[in-house]
Structure 1
Amino acid sequence: MTDENAPGERAPDGRSTGERPSDDPLAWELLDSEVAYSCPGFDVRRERVRLPDGTETDFDYLAEPESVVVLPFTPDGDVVVIEEWRQPVRRVNRSLPVGGTEPDDGDLAAAARRELREETGHEADGVELLTSVEPANGVANSVLHFFVARGCTPTAEQQLDADESIRVDTTTFEALRDHVASREIRDARTTLGVLYYEAFGD
């Protein structure tokens, strides 16, 4: 599938075709941009670019909405986690609640609250941004925004998507950290969230 992104229109990063993102001599010039393949959740975008040596080539990457990752603490200090079937790796994945932002989200904090509520049925007294990262910026434009949620209590119903199979559990932060250290948890978003919070959280 392709779109009608003719030269001069805006690419996902806001650039017009024919425009460099910066004056850095390493920058590539964007010549054209189109969606090569689209499915629920992400697109594969194909861009025609000119390299610094003048060579023209195609570059494909995964394009998706920004996502939020929530580290939710209950009033007692436990962590709300989810267990979800992950088809690409054919196993149940133990992780923090994660989800993409949506157009109706007022801001990133609202997206974090919504994802927490939809995936776990918990609502938070407050949420605060922990950090934002680009987890695979050589092959995707993905951005993950990590939030700490506090005072999380089960006051709502889960609202799962049709392709979500999720079980909710709680654990201590220490146990979660130990599961990361022992490689029982292999989910990269959970690993990063736990270790970043341990290093830089309050």
Structure 2
Amino acid sequence: MTDDATHDEELAWETLYGETAYICPGFDIQREQVRLPDGTETDFDYLSESESVVVLPFTPDGEIVVIEEWRQAVKRVTRGLPAGGVEGEDADLEATAHRELEEETGYEADAVEHLTTVEPANGFSDAVFHYYLAEGCEPTGEQALDDDESIGVETTEFDDLLAAVEAGDCRDGRTAFGVCYYELFG
């Protein structure tokens, strides 16, 4: 049996060249020329975006703060957890979770705690989601939406959100994962 480092080396691709093929607000498309382990050379394109935080915010009464947001890619309103990108000045992910919660919902948390970190689509994207549990959330802040956001805010019971995920009514992947993770391990 090989050790992990040797195994990784046997499977690793070599990047021969890379460039940004397309730039837009929110993400870039990267194009790389790579050499596969068998020597084959090919192109590989992927979506590149900044890391994000996803917040599972509980009010003191035990309800979850959720957002309803128009999602142009799927042409409908989706229901989900507040989330947002880590910005250049965000060295502290907990501070980012506090900021994104307030900006998207107007709620502020007494405390946030890291739940997990995942790469949701690492076959075609370098996206990284850092999940945070936020407790003691109260509507004491001010919503500060980006120019391209239209967001409504409400609260719901955790069990109702979990049931919506189970029934396929909550199709936002970040939310479905966060709710299921919390149900299993939170």
What is the TM-score when the length of structure 1 is the normalising length? 0.87
Aligned to 2:182: 197
Q: Paired residue for 2:11?
A: 26
Provide the rounded CA distance (Å) in 2 between the counterparts of 1:79 and 1:45.
37
Check if 1:177 corresponds to 2:162. Answer: yes
CA deviation string 1:43-95 (max 9, x = no partner)? 00001111111111110000000011000000111100000000011100000
Higher helix share: 2
What's the counterpart of residue 42 of structure 2? Answer: 57
1:183 and 1:54 map into 2 onto residues whose CA distance is 43
Aligned to 1:40: 25
1:99 is matched with: 84
Gaps of 5+ in 2: 1-6
Q: Does 1:84 align with 2:69?
A: yes
Richer in strand (by share): 2
Which amino acid letter does the alignment assign opposite residue 128 of structure 1?
A: E
In the aligned structure 2, how far is the partner of 1:24 from the partner of 1:56? Answer: 17
Give deviations 1:20-65, integer Å, cap 9, x for gaps.
xx85211001111110000001000001111111111110000000
Between the two structures, name the one with larger relative contact order (CA 8 Å, sep ≥ 6): 2
The secondary structure found in structure 2 opposite 1:88 is coil
Moved over 4 A (4+): none
Percent identity between matched residues is: 65
Give 1:130-169 correspondences, 5 Å limit: 130-169=115-154
Residues 1:145 and 1:54: Cα distance change in structure 2 (over 3 Å): same
Report the Cα distance in structure 2 between the residues aligned to 1:23 and 1:110, rounded to whole angstroms. Answer: 34
Structure 2 Cα separation of the partners of residues 23 and 190 of structure 1? 31
**Cα distance, 1:177–1:23 mapped onto 2, change above 3 Å:** closer
Residue of structure 2 equivalent to 1:19 = none
Counterpart AA for 2:12: A
Determine the C-alpha separation between the residues in 1 that align with 2:162 and 2:120. Answer: 20
Q: Tell me which of 102, 109, 125 is aligned to 1:124.
A: 109
Q: How many residues align?
A: 180
Partner in structure 2 of residue 18 of structure 1: none
Alignment-mate amino acid for residue 61 of structure 2: D
- How big is the shift at 1:157? 1.0
Equivalent residue, structure 1, for 2:60: 75
Any idea what SS the aligned residue of 1:171 has? strand
Give 5+ residue unaligned stretches, structure 1: 1-21
Q: Distance in 2 between matches of 1:127 and 1:142?
A: 22
